[in-house]
Structure 1
Amino acid sequence: MDTVWYLTRRVLQALVVILLVTVVVFCLLHALPGGPARGILGPQATAQQIAAFNHEQGLDRPLPVQYVHYLGTLLHGDLGTSYTLNEAVSRLITQRLPKTLVLTVLSALVGLLLAVPLGMWQAVRRNRPVDYVVTTLSFVAYSTPVYFLGLLLILLFTQVLNWFPSQAPQGDTLGQVFADPVGLVLPVATGAASMVAVFSRYMRASTLENLSEDYVRTARAGGSGPYAILFRHVFRNSLTPVIAMLGYYVPVLFGGALVVEQLFNYPGMGLLFWSAAQASDYPVLLGCVLVISVATVVGTLLADVVQRVVDPRVKEGRV
């Protein structure tokens, strides 16, 4: 019953946050220079054209009424229409989002598969030369801009070694993306690099903290070997803060995807956002912001749920 109440409360909190996100996006839409009409019709529109557009779209009504209408359109999946591509924003995002999810999920999986054992390895070899070397490389990888790192990988692996193509897989479907797995190597590696640097540090700190706990000393006194202690006891407990951090890392993954997709010409939502920013296509920009914000809230919620399953000791009052 406690778990059900905890999950119900977290879901309700997530819904409230999503509602606040819609308020922020609605305010951003109306904060555009000259209002939505000027942004859509362009700087050459006359006052009469703007007035006619506002009346046609209901933008001359009170803001609370407009917000209720806006919320209703969102619930029906209507995010507006791109005035540069002349397509529904929801359709554009539906086409691009799966490819961005493939890129971000693969980057996250590769990053975690490398970061978790690397962090534990550093903790076991704390204050040894290898720990200092890996720590230095982690700081360098974390401080290196994604765009610069991607350019270095392109220069090394496409120009010098000629191992991988400089362009990510093209196509409108996931099948076309997966048909060229070699083209995904460099984008995934670029997206995973900073994640390895960050999460290996978290895993190292968490492992060191657990190695100093009483239950580890008890296990040693009971005759358990170092590997049994590390993998049977310390590993699971050390994952808890890493899992919690993963949910909050969702916006970073999407932000990195924006740069990676533009750099490797990967046809995902990040490239769509980049192109919309170049063309001042505000409906597409705000639609992407809304989707990424909702994904962040959902990612945080899922991280809390998984953390609760992994560690039932999570307090009910924890947010």
Structure 2
Amino acid sequence: MIGYILRRLAQSILVVLVVTIIVFILLHQLPGGAARAILGPRATAAQIADFNVQNGYNQPLFVQYFRQLGDWATGNFGFSIKLNQSVSSLLVQRMPKTIVLGLLSLALTVIVAVPLGIYQAVHRNKPFDYIATGLSFIFYAAPTFFIGLVAIEVFSQNLGWFPPEAPQSDGVGPIFAQFDAMVLPIVTLALLSIAGFSRYMRSSVLDNLDQDYVRTAQAKGASPTRVLYHHILRNAMIPIITLLGLSLPAIFAGALITESIFNFPGMGLLFWQAAQASDYPVELGVVIITAFATVAGNLLADISLAVLDPRVKL
């Protein structure tokens, strides 16, 4: 197990390094270079030359890369001239909110999708299975912004059940103090994942229902409930564990749209505003953090798979 974890850790570090190289290359492919992109089109040649000297952009590329890599490793992602604030401080302010939003939506996804997939598999080809399958296809195909706008129109404007805007105060505390304002963002972000997870769970349970170990347990007199929850569930959860690790990029992509729709001051809204203002240091910082979180999530998923399924180590 230790050797497997070390190998996966080494692979994860390599992936992060590859991502930093790609980000570094893209930074130098900006029209006019990083200086022109950050200072704007009205910057003079003297200002651009001075900016390049101050930030080391006049040095060889390999020197710039290792200097940039050292800055990223220590949490220094540059300075946002547009917001007059360091990118690190912006990320520290916004990241906890996006993490809370993502975790709450992921928890709702697992709570709803796993029992739903199991129930569909046990009652396959029944009316409930057909209805749930149809709804899953609809929500899986619907864009996140469409679901969010419909949720605001129906549950906020027409019914008045929930506020149309997420909590605006700083810190994580207001999220729970005004939790009614978080219901629509959480549900909007979770619906797409619920649709996908429930389909995977249904297929996984159906695959395991036909395995020899299920028939053996039934022949020994085990009750259907015991067979389902003590034998099938553990093996059926293996694809879901993989999906949890792979869902981090999708959650952030959905958070970008969801936070923009509900004006939720997290990393997604920060990235959206930075893209509109061409605030490249902020965009690069968010991309690096998201890449690191994605690799870390995949690593945790691989370790969890090794614990649940010893065949993975082989």
Q: Which category of TM-score, normalised to the shorter sequence, fits these structures?
A: over 0.9
Q: Which amino acid aligns with 2:207?
A: E
Aligned residue in 1 for 2:205: 207
Aligned residue in 2 for 1:183: 181
Q: Does 1:243 align with 2:241?
A: yes
Aligned to 2:311, what secondary structure does the other structure show? coil
Query: Percentage identity across aligned positions?
Result: 53
Aligned residue in 1 for 2:24: 26
Aligned residue in 1 for 2:119: 121
Aligned residue in 2 for 1:40: 38
Aligned residue in 2 for 1:145: 143
Q: CA deviation at 1:241?
A: 1.0
Aligned residue in 2 for 1:106: 104
Alignment gaps of 5+ in structure 2: none
Q: CA deviation at 1:171?
A: 1.1
Alignment of 1:142-291 (within 5 A): 142-291=140-289
Alignment gaps of 5+ in structure 1: none
**Residues 29-72 of structure 1: per-residue CA shift (max 9 Å, x gap):** 11111000101111011222212221222111110011011111
Q: Which amino acid aligns with 1:88?
A: S
CA distance in 2, matches of 1:117, 1:72: 46
Structure 1 stretches of at least 4 aligned residues deviating more than 3 Å after TM superposition: none
Q: Which amino acid aligns with 2:208?
A: N
Aligned to 1:313, what secondary structure does the other structure show? helix
CA distance in 2, matches of 1:216, 1:75: 49
**Residues 169-225 of structure 1: per-residue CA shift (max 9 Å, x gap):** 111111122211111100000011011100000000000000000000001111111
Mean CA deviation greater in 284-293 or 41-50: 41-50
RMSD (CA atoms): 0.9
Aligned residue in 1 for 2:308: 310
Mean CA deviation greater in 236-245 or 306-315: 306-315
Mean CA deviation greater in 176-185 or 47-56: 47-56
Q: Does 1:69 align with 2:67?
A: yes
1:82 to 76, 80, 83: 80
CA distance in 2, matches of 1:53, 1:165: 45
Equivalent residues, number: 314
**Residues 134-175 of structure 1: per-residue CA shift (max 9 Å, x gap):** 101100010010000011111111111111000111111111
Q: Does 1:92 align with 2:83?
A: no
CA distance in 2, matches of 1:186, 1:251: 21
Contact 2:4 2:313 in 1 (8 A): no
CA distance in 1, matches of 2:39, 2:260: 27
Q: CA deviation at 1:228?
A: 1.0
CA distance in 1, matches of 2:109, 2:8: 27
CA distance in 2, matches of 1:276, 1:302: 30
What TM-score results when the alignment is normalised by the length of structure 1? 0.97
